[in-house]
Amino acid sequence: MLLFSILYNRGVYPEESFAKVKKYGLPMLLTQDEGVKSFISNLTAQLSGHFSHSGNELIVLEKEWLEAGKLQRVVLVIMSKATNEVLERWNFSIETDCEVVEKGVSREKSDKEIMREIQAIMRQIASSITYLPCLDEPCVFDVLAYTDKDVAVPFTWIESDPKLIANPQMVKLHSFDTKIHKVDTLVSYKNDEWEEQ
């Protein structure tokens, strides 16, 4: 959901390629672009786990990176379509409570509290257009996943450079905390207005 919100609010895809839905108590837009939906679906399966349907039952086939506590960070990179220059990096740092993952210890936090924290981030993403530079050229995106070194990487994934921005401007957004993971969010962006002439 956060990725769709960023892609919409930053104008990476046209407004008409999104449909309105209500999630986390907020109106949101989900992409209708089949290529993007497929990419995000495959990404989510790898990060969160592989699932299979058996009748009306959803069966977890394999614990994947997030559930196993092996995912450290996810970065959404927005780049110029013409030059591949990195314009923005949306960094989601993930801290896993190992005691919960390894020992099954339960943490007390209501779903309502978690939703309130996610809503705060969604609002910040929506308001980002007020302080981030306009993306006035066609853009594309990529997603980078930083995992523990011992993680098996599927053949469909490739290693990438970190797609950094030289001398970026940075804005820290709200964090949110589930019963298992704490996620800190930071957006860094290229700001030509601050470059020396």
CB atoms within 10 A of CB 53: 8
Indicate if the pLDDT at residue 134 is higher than 70.
yes
Helix (H/G/I), strand (E/B), else coil: 157: coil
Are the CB atoms for 188 and 88 separated by under 8 Å? yes
Residues 71-97 pLDDT 10s: 888 899 999 999 999 999 999 988 877
Per-residue tokens: 89: 């990096």
Domain residue ranges in the chain: 2-194
Indicate if the pLDDT at residue 57 is higher than 80.
no
Cβ neighbours for 55, distance < 8 A, ≥ 6 positions apart: none
Residues 147-192 pLDDT 10s: 888 877 777 778 889 999 999 999 998 777 777 777 888 999 998 7
Average pLDDT of the chain is: 79
User: What's residue 55's pLDDT?
Assistant: 38
Assign domain 2-194 to its CATH architecture: 2-Layer Sandwich (3.30)
pLDDT band at residue 49 using 50, 70 and 90 as cut-offs: low
